[in-house]
Amino acid sequence: MAIFNKSKSLRTDAGTGFGTNSNSTGGRFVNKDGHANVVKRGVNLLNRYSWYHTMLEMKTGKFLLLIFLIYIVANLFFAGIYYLIGIDHLAGVNTGSSFKNFTEVFFFSAQTFTTVGYGRISPVGFMASAVSTFEAFLGLLSFAIATGLFYGRFSRPQAFLKFSNNALIAPYQEGTALMFRVAPYKNNTLSQLEVTLTMAITTEENGKLTDQFFSLDMEISKINSLALSWTIVHPINEASPFHGLSKEDISRTDIEIMVFVKAFDEVFSNNVVSRTSYISNEIVWGAKFNMMYHPNEDMSKTILTLDKLNSYSNVEIDKTNSSI
């Protein structure tokens, strides 16, 4: 582990929400997707998760698959009940093999659950009627919940920002700087963007590992709007925690750069946030980003090439002019 020079006058950050005892934490503080790298214990499963938030943040494919599976399982459950009651309590069933009889009650269950009710099959007797009544009621509630979830997912404000996979140590003016970039990948309009950077570094103090947090100054921390990519630059000077650290120091030191971006979505008239982080092995020494936008053929529009967000080229860092 590299020796971190704590005697420098650095601006510490006590508002990260993470503890300073390194032995009490594990792994990175913030995952690449922006969620805190924390698993909660001590409460039961139902109280540990907000199922509404989970369903809103679930990927679209998993969400649709889960809704479909719940629908199928619910109808299989009620079809089993109808089958146990007896198909003679369902008028209009075309009887045949056991499989055909079960498919008949399954499709009757689907019609009841969705309140479609084509009318060919109808319940006969108290038990079948009671079950179909309860299923129809449950179906109404289920579709109301599903509709609310679909609306919540559709209408929830999101930043729709992509961050570069790596942060770079690149030449900057007469020295060097830590750089990464961010770009919008959908047609939403963001304004009044503000970024906050916090560096977490693990050091040894009196034989005990501790986590220290430092605020990182940026060349530009606020912009009026984001239409193209934005390269966020932290100059490495005497006021930077990176000052004095070599490439080898960075690679063998537990470092994490936590990124917090806040912006205003003009369509939703609401603030949106996006987070990510970079750890030591995601910091590339001696590289610079390649341009990811260019004019079109008739010079009337600017083309933003999002698949070049992570594109960079290796460069030499002149240590004689470097602040590292």
Structural domains in the chain, CATH included, are: 47-155 (1.10.287.70), 158-314 (2.60.40.1400)
User: Which of 108-112, 116-120, 141-145, 215-219 comes out lowest in average pLDDT?
Assistant: 116-120
pLDDT-based confidence at 36, cuts 50/70/90? confident
d(CA 290, CA 305): 11
User: Which of 137-151, 217-231, 240-254, 260-274 comes out lowest in average pLDDT?
Assistant: 240-254
Q: What is the pLDDT of residue 21?
A: 62
Percent of the chain with pLDDT over 90: 45
Please give the backbone phi and psi of residue 113, each rounded to the nearest 5 degrees, phi first: -60, -40
pLDDT > 90? residue 10: no
pLDDT-based confidence at 165, cuts 50/70/90? very high
Q: What is the pLDDT of residue 24?
A: 63
What is the rounded average pLDDT of the residues 111-124?
Answer: 88
User: Which of 5-14, 94-103, 140-149, 227-236 comes out lowest in average pLDDT?
Assistant: 5-14
pLDDT > 50? residue 3: no
